[in-house]
A and B are shown apart, each in its own frame.
Chain A
Amino acid sequence: MSNIPKDRQYLSSHEWAQQVEGLVVVGISEHAAEELGELVFIELPAEGDEVTFDTQFGEIESVKAVSGLNSPVNGKVVEVNHQLVDSQAAISESPFEAGWLIKVIPADHSGLDKLLDAADYEAQLGGS
């Protein structure tokens, strides 16, 4: 069973959101990273871009497969994990820490209120 930290919230499409000092940090879950396998490319938005709840903000390619990345929050991107463009290893090795994707200033909490907590996400994965 994958690690599912309780200090963040989840989209059913496996992205996580963690609220830290007024920002929302976004990444993909360990389960998603495991399912994707070897990662080879990632496309992330630029700083200043707007992201919309449950709408695609980027794409990630594991071998042969391109997968959409969906935003768990409405808001503006203020920081992008640029290190991932050259190497996506951090996503596989540390999806909840070094493998974060973007940081967002939330425009509102309407999306965050709809996210799954860790228990519900675990249930979705069949873990309870």
Chain B
Amino acid sequence: MLERPDPPMRTGIENSYHLLAPGPLSAPQNMALDDLLLDQPGWFLRLTRWQQPVVTLGRFQPWPESDDRCGFPSIHPCGDLPAPPGSLAAVRRATGGGAILHGDDLTIAIAGDCPSSVFSQRSPTAVANIISSKLSRLFEGHASRRGGDTREASMQHITDCFRRSSPSDVVVDGPRGPIKAGGIALAFRRGRVLIEASLRRDLLEAHPTDDLENLQRLGLLLGLPSAKSSEGDLGEPWQEQISRRVQQRFGDPIWNRG
């Protein structure tokens, strides 16, 4: 039912991490690239740039009907043409969780081995707590990890990730208590983990000019040594594999609708 992984592409520095910052990609291309990182050896920290505002949906999240959206924009599945006017394209992620509107946020992904020296337990809760603690430290003075013991399963009916509450949320202080400023979602496959994170730039003072520096700081916080950096064009081998996954899955409107 699921295709075998593509052959690994060598990053060149196996004990380090590869910082990927490609130019803006379509929603299916972005999700295909994250999915590809889950099957590649080595560590990757990745800046996600979008060609236009899009919505990503959790891997198994029910397609949101209009009554469920509670102010969330109208969406149509990526790959469906023609798109209804005023509707945003939506693509499924490989990771779980709820829907996220991208465009003004800081979107990043981390992929690496699990268990490993960075994530000693192959446990969603343990990995989520580690990564949200590190992410909140990127915005020292602004953010912290929510913590606590929120029962997230009771929030599955809520479409918008940012209306759900989780101990691994990155939060900032608001006049009526903590405000969710960042959420994460995970996927585990064959000894690897993929973490996708969306952080609200407005609440975290996360300026686009600082994105690469923040990713490098995150690498240090995770205990990863120096990076090989790839900005702009990813190159033909990557693009071929991304195209294949877009065709197989992320560009398919039926798959995206779920």
Contact = CB atoms under 8 A, between A and B. Distances in A.
A63 B153 contact: yes
A31 to B, nearest CB: 10
A35 B123 contact: yes
Given A40-B156, A59-B59, A65 B188 contact: yes
Interface string B151-190: 1110010000000001010000000000000001111111
Nearest to B127: A65
A40 B60 contact: yes
A64 B124 contact: yes
A64 B190 contact: no
A65 B151 contact: no
B96 A68 contact: no
Contacts of B168: 64
A107 to B, nearest CB: 16
Interface string B39-53: 000000000000000
Contacts, number: 84
Contacts of A40: 60, 96, 153, 156
A35 B122 contact: yes
Contacts of A41: 59-60, 96
A56 B187 contact: no
Determine chain A's interface SS by DSSP, over half rule.
Answer: strand
B218 interface: no
A53 interface: no
Given A38-B151, A63-B96, A66-B59, A45 B187 contact: no
Contact of A36 (B2, B124, B185): B124
A124 to B, nearest CB: 11
A62 to B, nearest CB: 5
Interface string B52-79: 0000001110000000000000000000
Nearest to B2: A56
B1 A45 contact: yes
A5 interface: no
Contacts of B127: 65
B166 A64 contact: yes
Interface of A: 13, 35-38, 40-41, 43, 45, 49, 55-59, 61-68, 70
25 contacts: A13-B190, A13-B191, A35-B123, A36-B123, A37-B124, A40-B96, A56-B2, A56-B189, A61-B59, A61-B60, A61-B96, A63-B96, A63-B97, A63-B166, A64-B128, A64-B186, A65-B127, A65-B128, A65-B186, A66-B96, A66-B188, A67-B124, A67-B188, A67-B189, A68-B188
